[in-house]
Amino acid sequence: MRYSIFNLVRQGLRGHRGWGPAWRDATPKNCYDIIVIGGGGHGLATAYYLAKVHGVANVAVLEKGWIGSGNAGRNTTIIRSNYLLPGNGPFYEWSMKLWEGLEQELNYNAMVSQRGVLNLCHSDAQRDAFVRRGNAMSLYGADAELLDTAALRRMLPVLDYDNARFPIHGGLLQRRGGTARHDAVVWGYARAASNLGVDIVQNCEVTHFIREAGRIVGVETTRGPIRASRIGMAVAGNSSRVAKLAGLTLPIETHVLQAFVSEAVKPLIPGVVTFGAGHFYVSQSDKGGLVFGGDLDGYNSYAQRGNLPTVEDVCEGAMALMPSLGRVRVLRSWGGVMDMSMDGSPIIDRTPVHGLYLNGGWCYGGFKATPASGWCFAHLLARDESHGVARAYRLDRFATGHLIDEKGTGAQPNLQ
Amino acid sequence: MRIECPFCGERDASEFVYRGDAAIKRPDPSASEAAENFFAAVYLRENPAGPHDELWYHAFGCRMWLRVRRNTLTHEILAVNYPGPVAGS
């Protein structure tokens, strides 16, 4: 059923008893053209674009738990394309363009809200770097605006402009950036892919790869063997574990990243704000809660929960920027497990094993990349060649020295 | 997370600096396959979900390096040892 105001009124008059499930919970077939492992945003977007753009609808998405149960539901929902390097800029800008048309494309309300993403700078050198990044963004077709403190004071009176240690000198604003509802992105892609014939298979964990004549031709799962000529992994957080089933060791460490939400307060922060003298970023949800996060805990972890020193560190960042938050209570905190690639940038590439493709290493920034990641991974799986905007995300770049060290935020930035 | 330092006793993890996988050894730079070996040592990681041997530096304590066996699924500390032979022994 197409979602529209007409259908909403019609169903409303019938007591909302006519809505069907948004997508089909499929039983796996024996054989597909392409299997995508991982039913998060990236996996479902890949399946959708395979069916929509490349006409390959005989696709299965295999999910160990339920769709969206991993990092797709554990992020801080920020979308932006404020990148500097040539390997990143066009990719994230393509993602931003897909976000802008996503709801019409999927016929699903993903609550995409272009409320602006603002990076604050606290020194002259940092402002120079922001000018350079803003100019680079303009060259990629993204929007960038340098704000002075007078403009910031009008936009964000809540910030501490008298902080002697971290004075606010200005900010780089991307007005097209903002937030989206992460669960709705998963459900929207699932519904649209399912409508095009993609099988979404839940509670189906891949346990082995089936090899024949030196290539991978299928997977053994907890719901039986499933064959396909091409198999894509979109299991960021667990890429190393799934790749190990194929005998691969990846340039990735898995780390826990915590996020937080406060009790609801009155409208305080119009968009997304990042503190440039530490690692702290915050936005305000439509319900009023402040959604914020910071650095990794800093040690290998698959635990999906972190420790208190990082909570303290993130809250100190909040207090340095907005001392008025001192009496706001944190409502919840949670952790997601990140594929931390060694240069802080993702990988969308073939693997050395024939028939197996990798989409992973999303580090801090997987959510905003969801549409372009799906778009480019679908391109790779359907045509066996990298998409133009994802060409730099090679698996072998660590061996060849073509690193993409946008911010140098890999697994252990101090060692790289 | 608390780590039982052999010198200082049980201390909060915030006193320590994490140095990652303890299995990584610096390769021999004069070996013929040195480039491949350095690539593996610098970038490739086993990244297990379960027991993991790793190095922690007690920066705000005794400043000793420790070899810690820790479960990455639960954060449980399974063992703490010196990373190599203790000086003078």
pLDDT for A78-97, tens place per residue?
999 999 999 999 999 999 99
CATH assignment at residue A128 = 3.30.9.10
| Selected residue of A249, A302, A343 to mutate for chain B interface (largest B Cβ count, 10 A) | A302
| Cβ-contact A358, A351 below 8 angstroms | yes
Shared domain for A259 and A173, answered yes or no, is: yes
| Selected residue of B19, B45, B71 to mutate for chain A interface (largest A Cβ count, 10 A) | B45
Q: State yes or no: pLDDT of A416 exceeds 60.
A: no
Query: What is the pLDDT, as a whole number, of residue B87?
Result: 52
Residue B33 lies in a domain: no
The predicted model scores a pTM of 0.95
Q: Confidence class of residue A406 from pLDDT cuts 50, 70 and 90?
A: confident
CA A316 to chain centre: 25
Shared domain for A187 and A336, answered yes or no, is: no
Residue B87 lies in a domain: no
pLDDT tens by residue, A333-382 = 999 999 999 999 999 999 999 999 999 999 999 999 999 999 999 999 99
Residue A5 lies in a domain: no
**Which residues in chain A have their CB less than 8 angstroms from residue B45's CB?**
240, 249-253, 411
Residue A15 lies in a domain: no
| Cβ-contact A265, A328 below 8 angstroms | yes
Q: State yes or no: pLDDT of A409 exceeds 90.
A: no
CB atoms within 10 A of CB A287: 9
Query: What is the pLDDT, as a whole number, of residue A118?
Result: 98
- List, as one string, the DSSP characters of A94-108: HHHHHHHHHHHHHTS
Residue A373 lies in a domain: yes
Residue A246 lies in a domain: yes
pLDDT tens by residue, A15-33 = 999 999 999 999 999 999 9
Nearest Cα neighbor of A396 from A352, A354, A360 is A352
Question: CA–CA separation, A410 vs A27, rounded Å?
Answer: 38
Q: Confidence class of residue A177 from pLDDT cuts 50, 70 and 90?
A: very high
CATH assignment at residue B72 = 3.30.2270.10
pLDDT tens by residue, B44-87 = 999 999 999 999 999 999 999 999 999 999 999 999 998 776 55
Shared domain for A187 and A70, answered yes or no, is: yes
In Å, how far is B89's CA from the nearest CA of chain A? 30
In Å, how far is B44's CA from the nearest CA of chain A? 4
A380 burial via Cβ count (<10 Å: 0-12, 13-18, 19+): buried
- Domain containing residue A68: 23-78+84-93+100-105+182-250+343-415
Type of residue at B23:
A
Residue of A nearest to B20 (CA): A299
Residue B32 lies in a domain: no
Question: CA–CA separation, A237 vs B16, rounded Å?
Answer: 24
Residue A10 lies in a domain: no
- Domain containing residue B64: 2-25+39-81
Taking residues B5-13, report their average pLDDT: 94
Tokens representing residue A14 in the block = 């019938």
Residue B31 lies in a domain: no
Query: What is the pLDDT, as a whole number, of residue A408?
Result: 67
> 3-class DSSP state for residue A260?
strand
Q: How many domains in chain B?
A: 1
Shared domain for A310 and A322, answered yes or no, is: yes
> 3-class DSSP state for residue A315?
helix
Phi (first) and psi of residue A327, to 5 degrees: -110, 10
Give, in order, the Cα–Cα distances in Å from A39 to each of A69, A123, A235: 8, 43, 8
**Which residues in chain A have their CB less than 8 angstroms from residue B13's CB?**
299, 307, 309
Shared domain for A163 and A189, answered yes or no, is: no
Shared domain for A336 and A259, answered yes or no, is: yes
In Å, how far is B49's CA from the nearest CA of chain A? 6
Residue B86 lies in a domain: no
Q: Confidence class of residue A383 from pLDDT cuts 50, 70 and 90?
A: very high
Q: Does the distance separating the beta carbons of A342 and B43 come in below 8 Å?
A: yes
Residue with tokens 């931003």: A96
